[in-house]
Amino acid sequence: MMKRNFLNIVVLGLVLWAFSGVAAAIQPAKPSVDASSWLLMDFETGQIIIEENADQQLPPASLTKMMTSYIIADQLHKGNISDDDKVLISENAWAQNPKLKGSSLMFVEVNKYVTVEDLHRGIVIQSGNDASIAMAEHIAGSEEAFADLMNQYAKRLGMNSTHFMNSTGLPHEQHNTTARDLAKLARALIVDFPEDYSLYAEREFVYNGITQQNRNELLGDTTLGVDGIKTGHTEAAGYCLVSSAEKQGMRLISVVMGTDSMGSRASESRKLLNYGFRFYTNVKAFAAGKPLKQAEVWKGEEELVGVGLAQDAVLTVLKSEKDQLKANYKLSGKLMAPIQKGQVVGEVYFQMGDKVVKRMPMVALNKVEEAGFFGRMWDSMALWFED
C-alpha cells in the first residue's frame, strides 16, 4: 500500500518539460497580402501558420484541376486505369468546342486517341480544360458524374466548404472552395501520391507539336525550392496560386486567391513562403513509442505500464519561441487492468506560455493482463482505503 502511494506521488506528480526558457519572444508582424483569401500551412504538421479569410467560399478556377489530378492519381494507383489507356476524345472534350474557346487547352482533337499519361500531363502542366473533360469522361462516363465523384473525394479529405460542378474550374455559380480546403487538398496530393506530385514541377510539355509552359511563375525559384502546385484564373476568381516549397527540410504550402495579376499572385505567394521559412521551424518534441512515464496499474499482473505517444509529436513554432515550448500530461483516471497496447489512457498537451497549442492522446505502450483473484482482491481493498 505504502509502495503504491509512493510510486503514485513520484510518477504522477512529474511535470514533463520538453523545453524551457524565460526570454520573451519577438513576434514578427504578419505580412500584408494583397489577395481576397490566403493562408500558409506547414506541410509536416498540417498546422496553419497565418491566414486571412481562409474559409471564404470563392471560385477556384483551374485550381479545380488539383482535384481532377488527385482522382486520376488515385485511380491509377488502384489499377482502375493505366497510363497506357487510350482515351477517345469526344466533342465535349474537343479543343474546338465553343465552350472552351479562349481557355487553357492541350489542343486534343475530336475522335483521336490520347493516352492517360499525356492527358494527365496536359492537365497538370498545361492546365488543359479539354484534357480535364476527356479524363472525366474516361473515369466516370460523363463530366457530371465525375463532378459527383469529386465531391465524394472532397468530403473524404475534409474539404467541408467545397462543391465542384465540373472538372475544369470553368465558371459556375455553385462551383466554390476555400483557401483552407485547397491547402488540405495540396497536402493530400503530396502525402498520398508523391510520384504523381512530381508532375507539378515539370516546366513544359509538348503535345501535337505545340510546346506550352507551366503557368506556375515560382517554379525554378532556387531560393525558395518551389516544386508545385497550380495556378488558376478567371474573371470571377481573379489570379490564384497554390504553391509548395521545400527548404532545409521544411515544406510549406501557401494559397492565395483573388489577386489582380499573374505577377501579384507570384509575389504574394513568395511573400508568404519567405515569411514562413524565415520565422518558423518544426520541433520534434517526442518520438512515437518512447515512454514518457510509468503509470500505475490496478488489478493487473504488472504494477506499472509505460505510456507515451502513438505518433511523433512535431509542432510548428516561431524560431524565437521554440525554447519556451513545454509539455505536460494528464491521465484519464486510475488505470485498471486489463490494458491493451495502444489503449488511450490520457492526454499530452503542449503549451506556449498559458496557451495550449497542441493536444495528443497518450497511449499504453504495452499490454497488461488482469491479475489473478487474490491480486484483484488486494487492489480492490487498497482502492477502497484510498477512496
Q: Spell 324-335 as b/e; 16+ CB within 10 A means b.
A: bbbbebebeeeb
SS3 letters across the chain: CHHHHHHHHHHHCCCCCCCCCCCCCCCCCCCCCCCCEEEEEECCCCCEEEEECCCCCECCHHHHHHHHHHHHHHHHHHCCCCCCCEEECCCCCCCCCHHHCCCCCCCCCCCCEEEHHHHHHHHHCCCCHHHHHHHHHHHHCCHHHHHHHHHHHHHHCCCCCCECCCCCCCCCCCCEECHHHHHHHHHHHHHHCHHHHHHHHCCEEEECCEEEECCCCCCCCCCCCEEEEEEEEECCCEEEEEEEEEECCEEEEEEEEEECCHHHHHHHHHHHHHHHHHHEEEEEEECCCCCCEEEEEECECCCEEEEEECCCEEEEEEHHHHHHEEEEEEECCCEECCECCCCEEEEEEEEECCEEEEEEEEEECCCECECCHHHHHHHHHHHHHHC
Grid cell locating 221: 525559384
List the catalytic residue out of 65, 230, 271, 322. Answer: 65
Strand pairing report for 344-352 and 226-234: unpaired
Distance of CA 265 to the CA centre of its chain: 21
Interatomic CA distance for residues 189 and 196, integer angstroms: 8
Active site residue 127: yes
Tell me: cis bond preceding 190? Omega within 30 of 0 counts. no
List the catalytic residue out of 62, 103, 167, 254. Answer: 62
Active site residue 267: no
Angle at 105 between CA 102 and CA 109, to 5 degrees: 110
Q: What are phi and psi of 263, to 5 degrees?
A: -65, -40
List the catalytic residue out of 36, 69, 103, 127. Answer: 127
Active site residue 380: no
Q: Mind telling me the catalytic residues?
A: 62, 65, 127
